[in-house]
Amino acid sequence: MMANIENQLGTINIEPEAIAKIAGLATTECYGIVGMASKNMKDGIVKLLKIESLTKGVKLHIDNNKLIIDLHIIVKYGTNIKAVAETIISTVKYKVEEATSMQVSSINIFVEGIKIND
């Protein structure tokens, strides 16, 4: 489902993939994040995504032009997960709303794994 913004000059249509990219990039900029995660539903294996495919770790739902964003992340070992999640929520909400002028109604964080330094 595409996001629509109407103004006096017409309608702006924003693809969910574009919003997911904004959310994914904002997430990876936060402290304590190793990257976005993708879970193979068949065998339950979590995979760390590269920067070019980070939108696979973002699930977007549009309901009455309000956004619900699910973020699947991998955090760095030793970080406070609650603090990292709160930072992600405020950062992603700000950046998505600023870029799209759409309201973010909720952001759900799913910690899919913890990466231990190599």
Per-residue pLDDT reduced to its tens digit, 58-114: 999 988 889 999 999 999 999 999 999 999 999 999 999 999 989 999 999 999 889
Residue 1 in any domain: the answer is no
Residue 47 in any domain: the answer is yes
Q: How many helices (H) and strands (E) does the chain have?
A: 2, 7
- The reported pTM is 0.84
> By the 8 A CB rule, do 68 and 61 touch?
yes
CA distances from 75 to 15, 38, 49, 103 (A): 28, 13, 13, 27
Residues 6+ apart with CB under 8 A from 30: 84, 87, 88, 91
Residue 92 in any domain: the answer is yes
Residue 48 in any domain: the answer is yes
Domain count, the chain: 1
Give the per-residue pLDDT at 58.
92
Structural domain range at position 29: 8-115
Half-sphere exposure of 107 (CA within 13 A, CB side): 26
Question: In this structure, what CATH number is given to the domain that contains residue 29?
Answer: 3.30.70.1350
Is pLDDT above 70 for 50?
Answer: no
Residue 77 in any domain: the answer is yes
Structure token pair of residue 35: 């990257």
Residues 6+ apart with CB under 8 A from 22: 95, 96, 99, 100
Q: What is the mean pLDDT of the chain?
A: 86
Give the per-residue pLDDT at 49.
59
Residue 2 in any domain: the answer is no
Identify which has the larger pLDDT, 81 or 50.
81
